[in-house]
Structure 1
Amino acid sequence: MTQHAITVLGHDRPGIIAQTTALLADLGLNIEDTSMTLLRGHFAMTLVCAGGATEGRIAGALEELSADGTLTVTVREVPDEHAGAAAGAPYVLTVHGGDRPGIVSTVVGVVAEVGGNVTDLTTRLSGDLYVLLAEVDLPTTVDVDALRAALDSAADALGVGVTLRAAETDEL
């Protein structure tokens, strides 16, 4: 039994998920983790699947997805690494404000400096409003008030607002 990471990227159209997952099911692969979204009209999906099919066999089966040139598909074997319980505490980080370069790198850099790990991140641009929503795991030793102060300072320099709050279990 092996695990493979599969990405499907390109112009959105109805049926991409159905077609991709049907091809994987036909190979006897079990879909263990996925993330799918639209990014400015472009479809983006990452899956981690487990099963007995080889990388070459999976890539061959998925070739029909990219036949018309509108989608790009990659397949890569990955080690079997099951996520254990988070070592830290879960938090939700939000940023909103005028769009500009450097928002993501600056804010997640502040989190990384204290050993925090971003486990999920979504950004959206709606007109001139930029919104970032991230789930982060913070080490239990982090001084959360000091981290909030550092995030506030970074946000002020960027001209955006930021919040960091403990995540409720049912939110994740």
Structure 2
Amino acid sequence: MNELAITVIGPDRPGIVADVAEALARVGANLTDSTMTRLRGHFAMTLICVGPAKEQAEDALTPVVADGQLVATVRQVGVETARTPVGEPYLMAVHGADRLGIVAALTRVLAEAGGNVTDLTTRLTGPLYVLLAEVELPPGAADTLSARLIEVAAGLGVEVSLRRAESDLF
């Protein structure tokens, strides 16, 4: 069975999700994983679906992008093998004045500790920058990592917290 990664981006408007989902459903694409958001007036969607060939999905999306406002890409991907989380689930929250390099510096600290970012959202609200991330950390790494994150965050002028996630999704 074909597994496809699809992205759709462009100016936000009502009905994009419905248009994309209907177009893909018509060619037998089952949406398995997806994320959709609006970023400063721009719509962004990434999804994984199974079913049709790449060309069928591209053809199905042609009417959705015909006016040139949206851009869609379709890529064949390999079927993910069953994967169990390799770490413990944590939530990282960052807030403070916006400045260049916050995401780069703090995700580098996570990566150097063997942490994996599984979801990340940032938002600029006036002068306040907020970052929320779901991460998987190697067992036993949280205390040392938390201290390092606090150190790096202080150098950036932001505050960071790291706490164990209590979720059925992990």
Structure 2 vs 1, CA of residues 171 and 127 (structure 1 numbering), >3 Å: closer, same or farther?
Answer: farther
TM-score by length of 1: 0.95
Deviation at 1:83, TM superposition (A): 5.1
Query: Superposed, which structure 2 residues align to 1:54-133 within 5 Å?
Result: 54-82=53-81, 84-133=83-132
Aligned residue pairs, count: 170
Question: 1:44 is aligned with what amino acid?
Answer: A
Structure 2 gaps, min length 5: none
Structure 1 gaps, min length 5: none
Question: 1:159 is aligned with what amino acid?
Answer: G
The percentage of counterpart residues that share the same residue type is: 54
Q: Secondary structure at the match of 1:110?
A: helix
Runs of 4+ in structure 1 off by over 3 angstroms are none
Question: 1:167 is aligned with what amino acid?
Answer: A
- Alignment RMSD (CA, Å): 1.2
Which residue of the partner structure matches residue 152 of structure 2?
Answer: 154
Question: 2:3 is aligned with what amino acid?
Answer: Q
Q: Secondary structure at the match of 2:95?
A: strand
Deviation at 1:2, TM superposition (A): 0.7
Deviation at 1:85, TM superposition (A): 2.0
Partner Cα separation in structure 2 for residue 125 and residue 82 of structure 1: 36
Q: Secondary structure at the match of 2:149?
A: helix
Which residue of the partner structure matches residue 6 of structure 2?
Answer: 6
